[in-house]
Amino acid sequence: MDALAPLVDPFHRPISYLRVSVTDRCDFRCTYCMAEHMQFLPKRDLLTLEELDRLCSAFVGLGVRKLRVTGGEPLVRRNIMEFFRAMSRHLGQGLDELTLTTNGSQLARFAQELADCGVKRVNVSLDTLDPDRFAQITRWGRLPQVLEGIAAAKAAGLRVKINTVALKGFNEDELFSLLDWCAGEGHDLTFIEVMPMGDMGEEQRLDQYSALSDLRGRLQERFTLTPLAERTGGPARYVRVNDTGQKIGFITPLTHNFCESCNRVRLTCTGELFMCLGQEDRADLRAPLRASDDDGILRDAIREAITRKPKGHDFDYSRRADGGHVSGQMPRFMSHTGG
C-alpha cells in the first residue's frame, strides 16, 4: 500500500474530515454539555501544540481535506493562534478548509487573526437570544459578550453559522425569533438534537430532548421549505426557506441516523482518536506519536484505527438498555470528544 494512500473505512467511506479538540476546558458550563463542577484534565496530559500540529499534519497527508478545531472552547487554549497559523500552511496544499466551532466568547479578540490564518467561516453555539435564559443554560456565560464576538467575526469577513440545540421546554418558543435574527444578520442556522453524552442524570437528559421532526413541522406551517442536496462534510441536512432565502440545517442523530455518509473522525486533546461520536472504541495516537520522530509508525496507527470505524452509532431514546439507561448513551461528556 502507498504510505500516503487516502484513508477509507471498512464501509468504503473516505475519511476526509478531522475534528480536533485542542482543550477540554471551557469558560461556559452549558447544561447539556458538561457538569457545573467539571474535573478537567491535568495540563500535563494534553498534547502540546507542536504535537497537535504533527498529528493533524499526518491526517492531512492521508487525505483529510477539512479540519475543524473544537474544545471545550478552543479559543481558551493558551497560544492557540500559533496552532491556527501552523495549520494554515496546509491550505491549498491538501487542506481545503480550516475552521472551528466556538461559543463565541473570545471571538471579539481573535476574529481578525482567524481570518488572517485563512479561516473562512466559524460555527457559533447559541441556544437563545434571551440574556437571562442564556445565563441559565451556559451557567457562566454572558450573551452580550457572545453577540459582540459574532459581530466581530462578521466584520472580519467570516461566514457565521449559528448552532442551536433544541431543548424541550427551554427554547422551543424562540424558533421563529432565532430564524428572523439569523435572516437579518445574514447567518445560516442549524438546529441540533441533544445527544445522550455524559452522565447528566437520566431524567434530565430525557427531559431536554426535543425531536427536530416536530420543529421542522412547525417551520413548514409558516414557510415553504425546499430540501437541498448540499452536504458540507458534516451530519446536517439542509433546507432553503423560500420566504427568506436563508439556509437551515438539521442535525438529527436520534430521529434520523446520519451515519451512512460519515466521513469524519475525532481527535481529543490527549491524542485519543474516536472513530465514532456514539461509540466508546478509541485508538491511542499519543503513544506512537511520541515513540518515534518517524511518522510512518503514526500513519500505521491511524490506518489501523480507521479499520475499526463502525457503521454507525447506537443513540436511541426510544430504547432502554439494562438499568433503564438510554440505549447508546455515552458516559463521556461531549466536551471530552470535541463535539
DSSP string, 174-214: GHHHHHHHHHHHT-EEEEEE---BS-S-HHHHHHHB--HHH
CA distance 151 to 155: 6
The rounded Cα 115 to chain-centroid distance in angstroms is 19
In the three-class reduction of DSSP (H, G, I as helix; E, B as strand; rest coil), residue 82 is classed as: helix
CA distance 9 to 219: 37
CA angle 18, 19, 25 (to 5 degrees): 155
Beta-carbon neighbour count of residue 212 at 10 Å?
21
DSSP classification of residue 94: T
Residue owning grid cell 473522525: 265
Q: 61, 303 in Cβ contact below 8 A? A: no
Residues making up the binding site for GTP = 19, 68, 101, 161, 264-266
Residues making up the binding site = 19, 26, 30, 32-33, 68, 72, 101, 125, 161, 195, 259, 262, 264-266, 276
Residues making up the binding site for [4Fe-4S] cluster = 26, 30, 33, 259, 262, 276
CA distance 177 to 128: 9
CA angle 295, 298, 304 (to 5 degrees): 140
Residue 291 burial (10 A CB sphere; 0-12, 13-18, 19+): exposed
Residue 235 burial (10 A CB sphere; 0-12, 13-18, 19+): buried
Residues making up the binding site for S-adenosyl-L-methionine = 32, 72, 125, 195
And the C-alpha cell for 283?
485508538
